[in-house]
Amino acid sequence: MLKTLLKLSGLLVLLLLIGAVAIGFVLKPKDLPPLVSYDSAARSGVLIQNVSVLDVEAGRLQQDLDVLVAGDKITRIGAAGTLNATDGVAVINGNGQTLVPGFVDAHTHLISLADLPGRVKLPNIERNLESFLYSGVTTIFNAGESDNKIYSFRQRVRDGEIPGPQMFVAGKFITAPDGHPVRVVQLMAPKWIRWYLEPRIAHQAGTPAEARAAVAENQQDGAEFIKVMVATLPGSAKRISPEVLAAVVDEAHKRGLKVVAHIDSTSDALMAGNAGVDHWVHGVYHDRIPDEKIQTLADFKIPMTPSMIVFENTSQLGRGNFKPIPLELETADPEALKRMTAIGDKTKVHQELLDWTDHLRGNRADWDSNTQRLNAAGVTLFVGTDFQPGLFPGPSFHREMALLKKAGLSNKEIIKAATINPARFLSNEQDPPFGVIKTGKQADLVLVKGNPLDDLNALSNITQVIVRGKLLKRHAMPTQ
């Protein structure tokens, strides 16, 4: 039960929101200036001159190149000085800079808040989209959303109506009756709102037939992936039965949908692996994976998104140790940041939450070690962040890369985990249409100062972002 509090903060926000809507007490998202806008100077394309291009697969720079973007594609790459700009093409001097593929966040959500629980606010979805782009994230995997409004936002972004990252969406979560996160609602939500939340938060599948119907409904709604809960959060939550899990996987695969499974522990990872899921969402952070199980897990050939930033962030909640990184200062609501940095007063944090964050800090070495040993055993890793209080969409991606570095991954490995690895998974193609810089590929590009192979921090030193061929103007929040 205590273990659950890790996840509860995010859910609590959701509860507050839905509660607010239900009683008609709706606060408009605060009007903040936009973080990005389309640059009209680039109406016919973009030419980046004299730039180093990062080959993510080989892990090396190709120096002194010109890169031309037209429409939504990279149309030409040539030696520096050989490509010319026509009318309406914006020219960018790439000298001393590196062009990298737009980042792919392999686990996030969109209809969420980074602010601390306790504030009745609605998610500002447009601004979340902008915050990803500002930080160079041009593709997101939305790992489950209870609100079908997500599909209209996916469409508006596709149509170019609003700027945003390309979106891949897993629909409504599938879980056991009284499983995660339904059990959380039962324990945490006020009685008067439970009846509203319980049927909406997830599909509760108690039989294979119900599981198949849930998969079918999600696909009909527009889901491209299926998210299933294998973990039991909290401890009193019911675990999905092997028969129901098998039906989810079978039905999804029959329909051409991949299944991603929420896991917390070694036993969750084994159960999901044995059931044939296609992706482990979260790393194993609950316990240290026994050495003899590392190879067993690697043999499943399932990719994993460790999302270490979730546990790092949660373990610091209430400690006053939150120090904003530059990208957070440039993008986040200053009030939300202030609340994060000022939270040091323990008396205002629930004791159970403090107990749990103590536990997380206590086994921090385990999550590092699990990630490091799985990586060494050949498990494909993705950079993904989740989206909950304290995790700011876009900046948290850069925090996660730094944590993977701390866990022992090389810069080359992290860059692949941030680009081509998840691009392959999401597109289902070995030679994916995004996540790499080649002629004919989608023009999702980030220009950074320096060489990220030598210094990973260079990836946060962003000067330009291009999303599906459109050059963006980035507008930092005024300095506080």
Q: How far apart are alpha carbons 403 and 473 in whole angstroms?
A: 29
Q: In this structure, what token pair is assigned to residue 80?
A: 């520096």
Are the CB atoms for 464 and 448 separated by under 8 Å?
A: no
In sequence order, what are the beta bridge partners of 47? 68, 91
Task: Tell me phi and psi for residue 168, to 5 degrees.
Answer: -115, 135
Q: Which is nearer to Zn ion, 392 or 446 (CB)?
A: 392
Q: Which is nearer to Zn ion, 140 or 214 (CB)?
A: 140
- 199 CB-near residues (< 8 Å, 6+ apart): none
Q: Which is nearer to Zn ion, 13 or 415 (CB)?
A: 13
Return the CA Rg of the chain: 22
Closest approach of Cβ 146 to Zn ion, in Å? 11
Cβ neighbours of 242 (radius 10 Å): 11
Q: How far apart are alpha carbons 143 and 168 in whole angstroms?
A: 8
Q: How far apart are alpha carbons 396 and 293 in whole angstroms?
A: 30
Nearest Cα to Cα of residue 121 among 33, 28, 201: 28
Phi-psi region of 307 (alpha: psi -120 to 50; beta: other; left: phi over 0): left
Q: Can you give the binding site for Zn ion, defined by CB under 5 A? A: 143, 386
Burial of 312 (0-12, 13-18, 19+ CB in 10 A): buried
Q: Which residue's structure tokens are 């605060």?
A: 30
Q: Which is nearer to Zn ion, 143 or 360 (CB)?
A: 143
Closest approach of Cβ 353 to Zn ion, in Å? 19
Q: How far apart are alpha carbons 171 and 175 in whole angstroms?
A: 12
In the 8-state DSSP scheme, what is residue 458? G
Closest approach of Cβ 465 to Zn ion, in Å? 24
Closest approach of Cβ 141 to Zn ion, in Å? 10
Collapsing DSSP to helix, strand or coil, 48 comes out as strand
Closest approach of Cβ 202 to Zn ion, in Å? 12
Task: Please identify the residue of the shown chain whose CB is closest to the bound Zn ion.
Answer: 386
Q: Which is nearer to Zn ion, 330 or 386 (CB)?
A: 386
Residue 63 amino acid letter: Q
Q: Which is nearer to Zn ion, 181 or 469 (CB)?
A: 181
Beta strand pairing call for 462-467 and 470-474: antiparallel
Q: What is the dihedral of CA 39, 42, 46, 52, to 10 degrees?
A: -30
Q: In this structure, what token pair is assigned to residue 457?
A: 């921090």
Q: In this structure, what token pair is assigned to residue 241?
A: 């039965």
Closest approach of Cβ 138 to Zn ion, in Å? 20
Are the CB atoms for 314 and 367 separated by under 8 Å?
A: no
Q: Which is nearer to Zn ion, 268 or 386 (CB)?
A: 386
Q: Which is nearer to Zn ion, 100 or 143 (CB)?
A: 143
Closest approach of Cβ 291 to Zn ion, in Å? 29
In the 8-state DSSP scheme, what is residue 442? B
Q: How far apart are alpha carbons 313 and 167 in whole angstroms?
A: 25
Closest approach of Cβ 243 to Zn ion, in Å? 25
Residue 95 amino acid letter: N
Task: Tell me phi and psi for residue 160, to 5 degrees.
Answer: 75, 10
Q: Which residue's structure tokens are 């962003």?
A: 462
Closest approach of Cβ 143 to Zn ion, in Å? 5
Closest approach of Cβ 281 to Zn ion, in Å? 7
Q: How far apart are alpha carbons 215 and 165 in whole angstroms?
A: 25
Q: Which is nearer to Zn ion, 66 or 105 (CB)?
A: 105
Closest approach of Cβ 112 to Zn ion, in Å? 9
Q: Which is nearer to Zn ion, 240 or 465 (CB)?
A: 240
Q: Which is nearer to Zn ion, 43 or 149 (CB)?
A: 149
Closest approach of Cβ 409 to Zn ion, in Å? 21
Q: Which is nearer to Zn ion, 307 or 464 (CB)?
A: 307
